Structure 1
Amino acid sequence: MTARVLVVDDLEPNVKLLEAKLRAEYFDVLGAYSGQEAIDLAVKEKPDIILLDVMMPGMDGFEACRKLKANPETMHIPVVMVTALDQQADRVAGLEAGADDFLTKPVEDLALFARVRSLTRLKMMTDELRARYATGKDLGIVGKIDPDADTGETRVFLIDDNEDQATRLIAALGDDTYQVIHEADPEIALTRARAGEFDLILVNLSIEAMDPLRLCSTIRSFEETRLTPILAVVRHGDTRKLVRALDIGVNDYVTRPVDRNELTARVTTQLRRKRYVDQLRSSFQVSLEMAVTDQLTGLYNRRYLASHLSAMFDRAYWTGRPLAVMILDIDHFKDVNDKHGHDIGDLVLKEFADRISGAIRGIDLACRYGGEEFLVAMPDTDLSFASVVAERLRQEIAGSKFRFNNGRDELGVTVSIGIASTENGPEDDSAQKLIKRADEALYEAKNGGRNRVIQSAA
């Protein structure tokens, strides 16, 4: 996996050394020699990861990291502090500034490359979600994302067969901040992980009942936990196991003996990123729904119908089971808008759609076909049964008035319905021809006096 890496250090030899190591692993490398230059390059070049020195004149690495994480254009770029500082307080300060990791010079190459690859994979997934979010934002259908928003109680799943260490970890996390659920048996933990809807999974990489790397790999392979952050507890100096863990999808790690402040900082970082990714995914789902649904009625729109009806028709053709289509048109709807206004007209359309939804089955497809026209596709349905459903719906519409102004006013509405089925279609039948036959039947219902159901001719 290749990536674009921004190396930041005020000493050119340090930049050149890291650049040479990274280029040897086929990474694309950019160099910056101050905090401000790093910020400017990050905005302009959009690197996949930033290796940031702490001790720099003017703006130090902590301040540069805070500014990068505060900027919406760069907040998603992983930052790794690379410094000669080796005190625990310095590590915590870097993590609290928003850094994703803190590596101490001289950096071990194996650990550096594993961390760069791990964070780059995460960045690439986030980039795809950000691109989808940007499209939805440009269309005005999704709102602002706030990764610091309060999402309620946070559930942390601790997998550790060492009771003493588990007790210390639970105490370090704090009873008031997180709801910590502990499981000592790895086999049971796998089942609970899939069903628990946890916000973060904390795994001791020294458990004995199961290969801990196999445990992490299995958790990452489950659909339910594919995106749940995994934080590993690893013995200090066990670089080989740590590198393997990062390669198979562990998001972050903390070394034993565990420092409470560092653990809290790393958990906070992972949870903040999870909230950010969850909001991106949610906004994409909203964008997708908006793209295929009619905003006023909540039914599917014509764009969705164009692709989905063809699939329903093909299934009917291959299985030999009939597919019925009915097109419904509200009678004299222009008069409703002219006499009562478009606001009342919209209320009528929405309630009309709700009545359609309440009258059809879950397997049926209902959409707003255009204006006051609606279409319902009914798989495994012959013409006679579709006619029964249509007639029942016609009677319900005509017999129950539409109420508005908090029930003070009411309006009578009728509907004309045309029905067609694949039963009486030609040999070269198609989804579009099926719609056309239903539309012709609707036209006949309109010309015949409205408020009626007409079947298409054979």
Structure 2
Amino acid sequence: MSARILVVDDIPANVKLLEARLSAEYFDVITASNGAQALEICARSECDLILLDVMMPDMDGFEVCRRLKANPKTHFIPVVMVTALDSPSDRVRGLEAGADDFLTKPVADAVLVARVRSLTRLKMMTDELRMRAITSLEIGVQAPERSAVSDLGVGGRILLVDDRPSSYERLAPVLSAEHTVDVEPNPTEALFHAAEGNYDLLIVSLSLENYDGLRLCSQARSLERTRQIPILAIADADNNPRLLRGLEIGVNDYLMRPVDKNELLARARTQVRRRRYTDHLRDNVQHSIEAAITDGLTGLHNRRYMESHLETLAEQAATRGKPLALMMLDIDFFKSINDNHGHDCGDDVLREFAVRIRKSIRGIDLACRYGGEEFVIVMPETDMHVASMVAERLRRSIAGEPFSIDKGNKRIEVTISIGLSTLEKKGEPVAAVLKRADVALYRAKHDGRNRVVAAAA
């Protein structure tokens, strides 16, 4: 796994040591000797993770971290503070500044590499989501970084898996001060509970009596419904090898017993914030996908989606020897509606028209806005006889009830013309099917409108 690590320390010997350790693991290492230089490098998006010394002149590591996490452009870069400070209050201060972890010098090579690998893996996954969500900004979806910067990480839903009452009776009240907490003392039920509970964080004790806590973490990572839930492991002080193994299989963070309550809260807030941020990114990606295939005014699929999906439907029909019908519809005299009542009223008609289309077709049918006032409906497993019945029913539903416009203040009569065609033979280009439906539609309009015409065989 290739990643670029920024090492920030004002002591050259420390920089050289970390650089050598990371380079030996094939990481690309860049360095900075002070906070201002580090901020400048990060602003250019030149690193995947920051190893940040705390005790530096001019600007200490806490302030550098605060500035990075307050800036939407650098908020998502993982920060690991590396320092000789080792008290719980120092760790909490670093975590509250936004750090993703806090390693105490001297740092064991195995711990350093495991933590860097874990966080860079997470960063690369987040980068992929961010890249896919870029188009969301173009369609007006808010960038998640701004909400992430202001998110305090409280009010989350946490599942605590711990079978020792002496442990969970101490931890649960602490977490409950800021979150909704469910305790699951039965590890065999925990996975089902996690899958059903819509949790923001899973806290797992690695000291379960009759169950392997790491196996539970691994199972959570393997199931679709729990794969994205952050995992915070709690281990005894002599469990270092298991913690490193946990980071390899997908544990996001860990705490050593005895657990400091302030550090527990700080690490929980960090994971809840991250969960919300990645969820927002995924939502943006979903919105982007929907926007790419959906007509914004009517909510029907757009022409791009129809043209790509029609190919698939035609291939399936040909392979299975099933019929496929296509209906092309056009609102009669739509230009006069816009001219006489205004484009807002024209939009009202198009929206209502889409609603009536949905009510007249099956779930397997594909309804699309083809352009302007023209629509296409693709009907799998439908021959010309059935398609003609559906088209006539739709024509009557449009002509039979006036359309409400101008916020319900007016009602106008609307009619449509429909052209029908079917897939004639295996391997026939879908463009030919569309063309026949278009010709049939032209005949319907030429013959007086408000009618259904089937394409000649």
What TM-score do you get using the length of structure 2 for normalisation?
Answer: 0.97
Distance in 2 between residues matched to 1:227 and 1:397, nearest whole Å: 46
Counterpart AA for 1:141:
G
SS of the residue corresponding to residue 182 of structure 1 reads: strand
1:102-121 correspondence runs (5 A):
102-121=102-121
Counterpart AA for 1:47:
C
Report the Cα offset of residue 406 of structure 1.
Answer: 3.4
State the partner residue of 1:205: 206
Q: Residue 373 in 1 paired to residue 364 in 2?
A: no
State the partner residue of 1:188: 189
Counterpart AA for 2:442:
Y
State the partner residue of 2:363: 362
Gaps of 5+ in 2: none
Q: Is the 8 A contact 1:46 1:74 kept in 2?
A: no
Report the Cα offset of residue 126 of structure 1.
Answer: 0.7
Q: Is the 8 A contact 2:419 2:440 kept in 1?
A: yes
Counterpart AA for 2:161:
I
Counterpart AA for 1:288:
I
Q: Residue 260 in 1 paired to residue 236 in 2?
A: no
Q: Is the 8 A contact 1:82 1:103 kept in 2?
A: yes
State the partner residue of 1:342: 343
Counterpart AA for 2:92:
V
Candidates 154, 157, 163, aligned match of 1:155: 157
Distance in 1 between residues matched to 2:426 and 2:292, nearest whole Å: 34
Report the Cα offset of residue 153 of structure 1.
Answer: 4.7
State the partner residue of 2:11: 11
Distance in 1 between residues matched to 2:378 and 2:316, nearest whole Å: 13
Distance in 2 between residues matched to 1:428 and 1:183, nearest whole Å: 58
SS of the residue corresponding to residue 44 of structure 2 reads: helix
1:43/1:237 CA distance change after superposition, 3 Å: farther
State the partner residue of 1:275: 276
Report the Cα offset of residue 73 of structure 1.
Answer: 1.4
Gaps of 5+ in 1: none
Distance in 2 between residues matched to 1:123 and 1:144, nearest whole Å: 17
Counterpart AA for 2:28:
D
Distance in 1 between residues matched to 2:427 and 2:25, nearest whole Å: 59
1:410-425 correspondence runs (5 A):
410-422=411-423, 425=424
Q: Moved runs in structure 1, 4+ residues, more than 3 A?
A: 148-153
1:85-96 correspondence runs (5 A):
85-96=85-96
Q: Is the 8 A contact 1:328 1:415 kept in 2?
A: yes
Distance in 2 between residues matched to 1:151 and 1:160, nearest whole Å: 23
State the partner residue of 1:322: 323
Counterpart AA for 2:251:
V
Distance in 2 between residues matched to 1:125 and 1:263, nearest whole Å: 25
Q: Residue 249 in 1 paired to residue 250 in 2?
A: yes
Q: Is the 8 A contact 1:141 1:287 kept in 2?
A: no
> 1:263-321: per-residue Cα shift (whole Å, max 9, x none)?
00000001111111111111111111111111111110011011111000000000011
> 1:6-61: per-residue Cα shift (whole Å, max 9, x none)?
00101000000000011011110011110111111112242111000000011000
Distance in 1 between residues matched to 2:70 and 2:445, nearest whole Å: 61
Report the Cα offset of residue 408 of structure 1.
Answer: 2.3
Distance in 2 between residues matched to 1:274 and 1:427, nearest whole Å: 49
Distance in 1 between residues matched to 2:99 and 2:4, nearest whole Å: 18
SS of the residue corresponding to residue 388 of structure 2 reads: helix
Report the Cα offset of residue 371 of structure 1.
Answer: 0.7
Report the Cα offset of residue 135 of structure 1.
Answer: 2.7
Q: Is the 8 A contact 2:344 2:406 kept in 1?
A: no
Q: Is the 8 A contact 2:419 2:439 kept in 1?
A: yes
State the partner residue of 1:28: 28
Distance in 2 between residues matched to 1:70 and 1:274, nearest whole Å: 18
Q: Is the 8 A contact 2:153 2:270 kept in 1?
A: no
1:446-457 correspondence runs (5 A):
446-457=445-456
Distance in 1 between residues matched to 2:244 and 2:152, nearest whole Å: 33
Counterpart AA for 2:182:
I
Counterpart AA for 2:326:
V
Q: Is the 8 A contact 2:418 2:441 kept in 1?
A: yes
1:240/1:357 CA distance change after superposition, 3 Å: same
Q: How many residue pairs get matched? A: 454
Question: Which segment is superposed worse, 403-412 or 387-396?
Answer: 403-412
Report the Cα offset of residue 427 of structure 1.
Answer: 5.6
1:108/1:427 CA distance change after superposition, 3 Å: closer
